[in-house]
Every structure is written in structure tokens, then in C-alpha cells.
Amino acid sequence: VFIAGSGPIGAVFARLLVDAGYNVIYLMSPPVVPSSPHLLPNRDTRVPGAHKKNEIEYQKDIDRFSHAIPLSKGALSTVSVPVSSTVVPTLDPAAWTASDPTQMYITNGRNNFQQTYNNLGAEAVTRGVGGMSTHWTCATPEFLKGLERPKILTGESADDAEWTLLYDAARSLIGTSEHEFDQSIRHNVVLQTLIDAYPDRGVKALPLACHRLAEGSPYVQWHSADNVYGDMFTNPTKTNVDGKARGQFKLLTNTRCTRFALANENAPFKVGAVEVKDLLEDRLFPGGGPTDFYIRSKVFLGNCLTDRWQILANSGFGGTRDGAIDIIPNLGTHITEQPMAFCQIVLRQGRLTLFQVDDIPKNLDTKPEWWAAAVRHHIQQHGDTDPLPIPFKDPEPQVTIPASLERPWHTQIHRDAFSYGEVGPLVDSRIVVDLRFFGMQVGVPENRMVFETAITDSYGMPQPTFEYRPTEKYAFEAHDMMADMTDVASKLGGYLPGSSPQFMTPGLALHLGGTTRLGQGTDKGETVADFNSQVWDFDNLYVGGNGLIPTPFGANPTLTSMCLAFRGAYKISQDLAAGQLTPPNPAQALTPTPRTWLNWAFDVNDPNYPVHQRKLHRSV
């Protein structure tokens, strides 16, 4: 099996197929470490793809992590940037300027097809092993049934049972927990304040893929593709519960997957090989040279977001502007985006009706023992110099108000490291809380991502152009979401100067959906693949990632995308075991995922049971 893209979803396919005994070649373009010149080498991680926030310098000062991930400076690369004017009013008059002042600069990745008004200006990709999971928030909520969650099986009870199995397995594999911040004073202050303010909205701890390093420790280990890989890099000869040895697993870095090549002209729906470019060698042949090679495989997977769908477009399968007949006619259409509202507040002093900062050291005999001990120790050590009763290493809050049909938006009320949420030196970060609210947008044909054949990106692939506008219904929902965020913020405190409520640049949520949307057989005319992630009509081409999700969603999509990958990996394994690759049958009803395929996620005695509490890596 060939997999392009080494983020957490590609890792799910690789893990399940290798553990089932199949050979996997896994391709990613940049080197394993570092994934960005602004990030330190991955010297503290056990295997490739670990979360960068686990590095000691960021564990000690979370605000420093905000410099590691901003657009174009850290791990993220902006997808589409409109051209800019050549006119610089303050330029030396003797300096060079274009003879035609209406001409625009097109260098540095500028896209002369991209309009500003319909761009997803902050949409970005991470080109590195582990992908976005090397710097994500680790939030892993379920999708809301009846709105966000796609319907896979006919019959409500069968579909519910399918999603329960898939979600339980995904939580096990990525290591989701809602209890790692139970012994945080700030977390409990924010949580209880919002439970009291909104008793009917199900306020709870935000589900996070992480674990606390030790009981009472201020540090957590943030999970990523590393946790999905498990011991694949360190224990290649491991056998599964049936005694079957792992398949071979090879990770190729510093390479570019250029295109899928069809088996022959008489087989328009069967991929025979993938064309790959060695990016290191390519630097030695600026005029072109022997840097391309082909990899043959039985099954091919295009995985992740825009940088992987470029491969499908470059293969001539669809999604381009040139009007060619498309093998995959809906590639890049029906894209969905999450309008994002943001603000930061400083926790209030305290009031009679809502528990806040001033109440933290009061009535300690009625507080949990860990709370009272931490506050007493802090006051004893620093009471004369620190005006706050909050221990310096008190873990941050991690709270959510789940989406509902009445309020269709996802919320994260927490502290995390983003370039737009950095706290300056004038306010103590212990009393700052971030509010991030994520809205929804249904996929419509006119909202699309087009791949330009006339220009290429910095990697020589077709340049993506966005054509996106929010539809009326979801635009007004975003307005209501902003009103709700300001109401929630008012219950917690006052706005941090410079971080008043605002809508962020479209695309900043980094959860682009719908690009390769899944559907039932009756939806074939508007979708790309079936709910086994297999592209319509193809014997051996699959897709993976958040782009598969056909529904509007506000929640973080990683957990749901993992669920879809479980089904895709099972279909691949069944076809390979039978020795016959079969295309999707639109007329045939989909079947439930056998629990035996995912039993490793639940049986602690299974050799492939996910273990997240691992010995820390101290040397290389």
C-alpha cells in the first residue's frame, strides 16, 4: 500500500495495515526533523511525528510556542496568497519600479488567480512528518448527531452502533481523556462558573488527546501522529494477536509525490504507479535531471488536505480550471469552512453569584485536598510578593460548551499557544482565558478549491485557488455565535486589551472539509468516494483526511476522520486478503465495521493495544 501524507490520518491507515501484515510505503515531502527552521530539532521525541509542544522550552513557557506555528514563519505554509501591488509609496524614487504600475508581484508564492474577497486567506498546510498533529490543540470531540455527524448506515440504531464503535476505538488510539485537568484550580474556576451560568448546556471538560506525566505534575504529554504510530518504528518484527508478523514499513522523506499514473490507457480507473521526485537530489539539477522515479503498489491512498489533493489534480483526475473531462468530477467542490470568533478575557475579581479569582483562597477547608494544599503552599512561599493566589504552575483551563441544534457552534474555552493569542508582559497569563468559537458552513458546489495548471506552488505542483463565500443561513449563524461568545465572556471577566471579540481571517481554523467528500451510492453525482474512503469507480484509489467529511461541522474533525480511516483500512485489507481489488458498488448497502477489526483498541492484553504512557526518550 502506498500512502501520500504522514499526518495522523495517514498514520491510522499505516498502523492498521502494517499490524495486519501488509507492506506500506509512506511518503512525506520535508525531512523528519526539524519540520521547520524555526523549530528545534526533534531531539526530545521518541519517534517522528511527535507534538512540538512537548519540548521542554515550550512546557516551561507555553507562550513561546506561539512563535513556532504562525503562518509563513513557523510550521504553517499559507495555501493561496493574492498578488500584491508593485507600488511602494515610501520607496526611494531612484529605486526600480515596474513601468506599468498596475502590474502585480507574483513571486513568493503569490497567486494571480486568487481574489481577496473569496479567499480562505489563513488556510495553511504543515509539510512535515506528523502534519498538523505536531502543533494541534489535541481537542478530540465527537460530532453532533443530526447535524455534524455523517450518516453511514441505514437505520438509526445501526448507524449509532457503528459510530459508537468507531469513536471508542479512535479515542483509544489517540489517547483521549476528559480528566487530565481535573486538578487545576483555573480549570475548575472556569468550569464551575460556566456550569452555574448555563446549567442546561452541558458544560464540561474539553476532550483532549493527552495524558499527565505523573499525578500532581504540572506537565502533560500532548498526543499526535506519534501516538498512532506507537512502536512501529522501534518494533518492526512485532506479531499481532493472531501471531501474524507486521508488514514492512518504510517512510520516505524529502520527496514529492507528483502524480498517480494509471495502469494503462485502457484502465481509466486503476492506478498502476505513483511518480515521485527526490527533492534533495533535485537541488543539484536546476535545469531538470534524473530525480524522478516510480513506485508500484497494489493500493494507493491520497491523504490529508490541499497539498495531497494537488496530486489528484496533477494526475489529470479533476479539479483544474482548464475544463478537461474529469475522472473525479467533484474534486475540490463543496468545500466547508469554520468561521471563527475569538477573544481573550481576564478573570473577574469575584462576585456574589459567580465563583472567581478572589474566592480561590477562601474556605480552603471545604475545597479538595489538592486545591487547599497547592494554595497554602503558594501563599506560604510567595504570599508577600505575588498578588495572585494561583500557583505558578497551575495547569490551564480546558472547557467546552458542546454544540447543539439550537446553538450550532463548537466552543473551546481554554489557554493555548497561537500567534494571535499571545499574552504580553503587562497581564499575568494565569488569569487570561481564550475563547474560540467555531461555526459551520454547508458544502455547496460554488464553494470550491480550483487547481491552476498555469502556475505552480513552491513545490512545483498546481497552485490551489479558493472560491468561497459563506451562504446566508450560516452567515447569520456566525453572527449569533459571536453574540453567544460575548455573553459567555461576560460571565468570566473583562476583555484583555487588544483581544476584544473579533472574527478571524477565514481559514484560520485549519479544518477545511468537503474537498473529497464521501457519500452514499445515491450521492455519487455530488461526492468523490464512498464511506469506505474508496474513490468512485476506482479499483485501488482511496482518500483520507478531513476533506472527506461531507457535513457542516464546527468541532475539531480529527477524531471523526480517524473513524472514517478505520473503515477505509478495513476495505483495503479485505480486498488484499481476497486477492481481488473491487470498486465501490453504488447499489450495494454499506456494512458495519466488524468489532474484530478494532478489538486491539479495547483488549489490554492485545499486543497492539495503544500504550500512551511510555518511557521518556533522553538520548539519541
Torsion of CA 27, 29, 35, 38, to 10 degrees: -170
Residue 501 burial class via C-beta count within 10 angstroms: exposed 0-12, middle 13-18, buried 19 and up: middle
**For residue 68, how far is the Cα from the chain centroid?**
16
Grid coordinates in use for 395?
495547569
Spatial neighbors of 8 by CB under 8 A, at least 6 apart, are 130, 131, 132, 133, 174, 224, 225, 228, 558, 561, 562
Catalytic annotation, pick one of 511, 532, 540, 608 = 511
Torsion of CA 110, 112, 113, 118, to 10 degrees: 70
Q: Is 63 helix (H, G, I), strand (E, B) or coil?
A: helix
Instruction: Quickly list DSSP for 580-607.
Output: ------TTSPP-PPPGGGGGGGT-TTST
Distance CA 312, CA 320 (A): 10
- The one-letter code for the residue type at 370 is W
Q: Is 556 a residue of the active site?
A: yes
**H/E stretch holding 304:** none
Cβ atoms of 185 and 391 within 8 Å: the answer is yes
- The one-letter code for the residue type at 478 is A
Q: What angle (nearest 5°) sits at the alpha carbon of residue 280, between those of residues 27 and 122?
A: 65
Greatest extent of the chain over all pairs of C-alpha atoms, in Å: 82
Helices (DSSP H) in 383-505: which residue ranges? 472-492
Residues found in the chain? 620
Catalytic annotation, pick one of 119, 447, 556, 608 = 556
Grid coordinates in use for 599?
478489538
DSSP state of 620: -
Distance CA 302, CA 279 (A): 19
Instruction: Name the one residue in this structure whose C-alpha cell is 439550537.
Output: 406
Task: Please give, one letter per residue, the 3-state secondary structure of 333-355.
Answer: ECCECCCEEEEEEEECCCCCCCC
Cβ atoms of 226 and 50 within 8 Å: the answer is yes
- The one-letter code for the residue type at 61 is D
Strands (E), 223-315: 249-252, 255-264, 267-278, 292-296, 300-303
CB atoms inside a 10 Å sphere around CB 433: 24
| 27 DSSP β-pair partners | 4, 252
Residue 172 burial class via C-beta count within 10 angstroms: exposed 0-12, middle 13-18, buried 19 and up: middle
Distance CA 137, CA 578 (A): 40
- Backbone dihedral region for residue 5 (phi beyond 0: left; psi -120 to 50: alpha; all else: beta): left
| 583 DSSP β-pair partners | none
By DSSP bridging, strand 84-85 and strand 104-105 are antiparallel
| 111 DSSP β-pair partners | 82
Buried-exposed string 505-519: b where 16+ CB fall within 10 A, e elsewhere: ebbbbbbbbbbbbbb
Distance CA 155, CA 161 (A): 10
Residues acting as catalytic residues: 511, 556
